[in-house]
Structure 1
Amino acid sequence: MVKLTLRERETAQEAVRRFRKLVERSGIKKEIRVREFYEKPSETKRRAKIRAERRNRRERMLGRA
């Protein structure tokens, strides 16, 4: 849970900006996107496998250069 206490002489805009940063760092936005739609476990594994293959390919290409 993200808590934000207003500082002295802090405007509402500054507080909102600080709140957005706190939410972003805590990973809440990412979690909401993931849970927005149900995804079958097989799809999750498939996407993770594709991501790992791309990462490995990228590392191989950068290692040779």
Structure 2
Amino acid sequence: MAQIQVRQNESIDSALKRFKKALEQSGILQEYKRHTHYEKPSERRRRQKLKRRKK
């Protein structure tokens, strides 16, 4: 679970920006998107192949 502490005199916008960055770094958003919609097995293989190629 991503969590941040709102600093004193910090705007909500900057706190939200830090929170979104923490979510991206932890991989929670990618996991959520992957489970939200059904992905055909062929699309999954294609995505994994591209992921391996990028490394």
TM-score (structure 1 length as normaliser):
0.60
Question: Letter of the aligned partner of 1:9 in structure 2?
Answer: N
Matches within 5 A, 1:1-65: 1-39=1-39, 43=41, 44=44, 46-47=45-46, 48=48, 51=49, 55=53
Name the larger-Rg structure.
1
Identity of aligned residues (%): 39
TM-score (structure 2 length as normaliser):
0.69
Question: Letter of the aligned partner of 2:38 in structure 1?
Answer: Y
Structure scoring higher RCO (CA < 8 A, sep ≥ 6) equals: 2
| Local SS of the residue matching 2:25 | helix
| Equivalent residue pairs, number | 49
- Where does structure 1 lack aligned partners over 5 or more consecutive residues? 56-65
What is the aligned-residue RMSD (CA, Å)?
2.1
CA deviations 1:10-65 (Å, max 9, x no partner) are 1111101111101111101100111112346xx14x333xx16x82xxxxxxxxxx
- Where does structure 2 lack aligned partners over 5 or more consecutive residues? none
